[in-house]
Amino acid sequence: MWHEPITRYTLGVGAMFSLYWLCNRFIVSPLLEKGRLPKDKKYLVSTALLYLPGLGLLLLFIKDLPVFQVSPQGFGTADYIVVFMAQFFAFVLMVPFTILEIKLGLVTSQAWEQQQKEKSQGLNAVLLILMVPLMEELLCRKLLGDILGNDQAGLFLCMSAIVFSLLHLQTGRIAVAVGMLHTGFLWSWVYVSSGSLLLCTAYHILFNLLMTFIPEYMKKITSEKANGIYTIVLSLIGTTGFVWMMSKSAHFWPPELLDMQNSWQRIFGNWGFWVLAAVCVGSYILGNRAMKEKSASPESS
């Protein structure tokens, strides 16, 4: 079972995030408490701890696995435009889950707004727009695609989307994880169909820019009404793209890309996947708790 690519990969990602949380707990948090690390640098340091030693640890787990080339499928420019539109359907999916989280007390609107505000400032914004998308696409698309290849495209699409969703539980938001399940699947399709990591990264960067940073910027310089109109337009674009893809499913999901007969069974029947899931659920609990504590502190009010 250890020689299964899925097992090696999921255990590697689990070890990567476990190291990240240990570093946060025993390095970043003590430095913050002692005043040796500025609060606005926390996200920078945490990101560095995740993707520098953590990514190296993952590579150790999968270093001797065979590497396959992902061959482009020959889709046209119009197809990629439709997929680009469809990625914004994530916003529509996130809305009911956000409302449910607030209703159940899993998150407060103040905590979410504070988190978004911090990530949209200074160097944190540069990281989230440029570096994090590149690292996440390398982790969830390139490395996983290399060990599965075109022959297991269906498995890759499912696995990549699920892992990408699980990793976003660290935000402390179930709604974010749901939205990233949708975008993760689409960006996996982009990688399988094009073989281009840079194209996936471009989609990811533009998504972050249009979904997070432009709305935050508009809140500062325009009215709530203008921001609401922008959100509605983005939602309509996403819905249109998603409906178009579903109506043309035979074109967008040809048999060689949708060979998923045993994909779900292989994923959910793999013990490495459940180790990763446990790590990510733990990160959700810690992230949710930290977000609540921060929003309740006098400094954030």
pLDDT digit string (tens) for 101-126?
888 888 766 666 666 565 555 556 67
> CB-based burial of residue 103 (10 Å sphere; 0-12 exposed, 13-18 middle, 19+ buried)?
exposed
The answer to whether the predicted template modeling score (pTM) of the entire model surpasses 0.85 is yes
In a domain, 88, yes or no: yes
Render each residue's pLDDT in the chain as its tens digit; 301 residues: 678 899 999 999 999 999 888 888 888 888 888 888 777 677 778 888 888 888 899 999 999 999 888 878 778 999 999 999 999 999 999 999 988 988 888 876 666 666 656 555 555 667 777 888 999 999 999 999 999 987 888 899 999 999 999 999 888 889 999 999 999 999 999 999 998 999 999 999 999 989 887 877 777 777 777 878 888 999 999 999 999 999 998 888 877 666 666 788 889 999 999 999 999 998 888 777 766 666 566 554 4
Domain that holds residue 135: 5-65+75-300
Instruction: Render the burial of 157-189: b for 16+ CB within 10 Å, e for the rest.
Output: bbbbbbbbbbbbbbbbbbbbbbbbbbbbbbbbb
77 CB-near residues (< 8 Å, 6+ apart): none
In a domain, 23, yes or no: yes
- At residue 235, the pLDDT reads 94
In a domain, 70, yes or no: no
In a domain, 25, yes or no: yes
- At residue 301, the pLDDT reads 44
In a domain, 233, yes or no: yes
In a domain, 262, yes or no: yes
CB 67 within 8 A of CB 146: yes
- What is the rounded CA–CA span in Å between residue 258 and residue 113? 38
In a domain, 38, yes or no: yes
- What is the rounded CA–CA span in Å between residue 271 and residue 274? 5
Tokens of 216: 């935050």
- At residue 129, the pLDDT reads 79
* Domain count along the chain: 1
